[in-house]
Structure 1
Amino acid sequence: MKRWLATAAALALAGCEGREAPAPEPSPVPTTTSASIIRPDVEVERIAPALEPLEASVTFAEGGDTLSDDALADLEAIMDSPQMEAGGDIVLRGHTDSLGDDEANLRVSRRRAELVRDWLVERGVDPQRIGVVALGEQRPIAPNAHLDGSPDEAGRAANRRVDVSIAVPGDAAGAAEEATPTPAADTAAAEDAAAS
């Protein structure tokens, strides 16, 4: 039986030698863009993917409250985003590392957020869209120190930032955020807390 199968396979291959496979015919270019392979007369509306809110950060890894080249690159990417063009509300949340006292860190975080706001406004963003919130060292995204108590410089650098949130107009999640205190109210509450 095995010998018979081997012989049949050899004959089949021998019959293929010297023959070239026919070239496939090019498919015709459609003159209309029908959306259905079953019913060419049916057009289907193409729906663009929904635009999601933007969450980004502007880094202040070197400390202080000046815009480094990295911070400017972060801001340029934010300006070029479709969320910025859509015109939704913008919330800027300033952060610091844990060095310094709480009041000083609140002031620095506010200056960083205001610096980002001013940069955006200089490039044509409506200041009415922008809310500023100073959080100081309250919301780190990385440890400020190692377990042995030594400084974690990479963690501190990551914590020195301004978080940028851009809502999408007409977004249900954005409407839910509107039910919470507004950025201006957050700013006023932070100022009142700092003053007392």
Structure 2
Amino acid sequence: MKRWAAATAALALAGCNGSEEPAAPEPSSAPTTEPTSIIRPDVEVDRIEPALEPLEASVTFADAGGTLSDDAIADLEAIVRSPQMEAGGAIVLRGHTDSVGDDETNLRVSRRRAEMVRDWLVEHGVDEQRIRIIALGEQRPIAPNANPDGSPDEAGRAANRRVDVAIAVPADNADGAAQEAGEAGSSPEGAPAAE
């Protein structure tokens, strides 16, 4: 058994002393930035642009005033520059308030906020026929209006004072996306809506 192991080791060493040079590795081609098929390098692959998704954004009314703040205008300017706005789909404006005040007053205030957003958009070139308003008052908060001890949660109330903007993408731009911005979320029963 020892002789067999010694013979195997001698043959292995003899193979290392051969005069043949190892083959040099072949240079690899530089990576390309153009897409190609992994199966057939001579076939180019078409680039597929991602479908445009509907836009969901909010316009803040954190100061609880009756005018558009600088932050609200900045929100609106970003919305107007969006590709979804350019695509021309339906726009739904959902007005919201915090829980201060009675329900009827809050519905009126939420409608006025949505109307302010609509008026600003129309003044900046958006077709009014695209816009639908839904007043929700305090019904759909995104943050607590009060702390666990019952004291006002001012940050939560400020977050709840908003107009949510939903912009649908027309089917030819969305490849099957929702046709109506209203499909992105429907109003609860009994919520007043303006056409």
In which range does the TM-score fall when normalised by the shorter chain? 0.7 to 0.9
1:106-125 equivalence runs, <5 A: 106-125=107-126
Consecutive unaligned residues in structure 1, runs of 5 or more: 1-24
The structure having more radius of gyration, on CA atoms, is: 2
2:192 aligned residue = 190
1:58 aligned residue = 59
Instruction: Flag the structure with higher helix content.
Output: 1
Give the count of matched residue pairs: 164
Q: Which amino acid aligns with 1:68?
A: S
TM-score, with structure 1 as normaliser: 0.73
Q: How many percent of aligned residue pairs carry the same amino acid? A: 72
How far has the Cα of 1:29 moved from its partner? 9.7
CA deviation map 1:93-125 (0-9, x unaligned): 000000111111111100100100011111111
- Secondary structure at the aligned position of 2:192 is classed as helix
Q: Any conservation in 2 of the 1:34–1:40 contact (CA below 8 Å)?
A: no
- Cα distance 1:57–1:34, how it changes in 2: closer, same or farther (>3 A)? closer
- Cα distance 1:64–1:43, how it changes in 2: closer, same or farther (>3 A)? same
Q: What is the CA RMSD across the aligned residues, in angstroms?
A: 3.1
How far has the Cα of 1:43 moved from its partner? 2.0
- Measured in 1, the distance between the counterparts of 2:184 and 2:105 equals 27
Consecutive unaligned residues in structure 2, runs of 5 or more: 1-26
- Secondary structure at the aligned position of 1:174 is classed as coil
CA deviation map 1:39-95 (0-9, x unaligned): 343121100011111100000000023110110111111111111111111000000
CA deviation map 1:125-173 (0-9, x unaligned): 1111110000000100001011111000000000000000011111545
2:128 aligned residue = 127
1:87-106 equivalence runs, <5 A: 87-106=88-107
2:178 aligned residue = 174
- Measured in 2, the distance between the counterparts of 1:33 and 1:173 equals 29
Q: Which amino acid aligns with 2:170?
A: P
Q: Any conservation in 2 of the 1:34–1:42 contact (CA below 8 Å)?
A: no
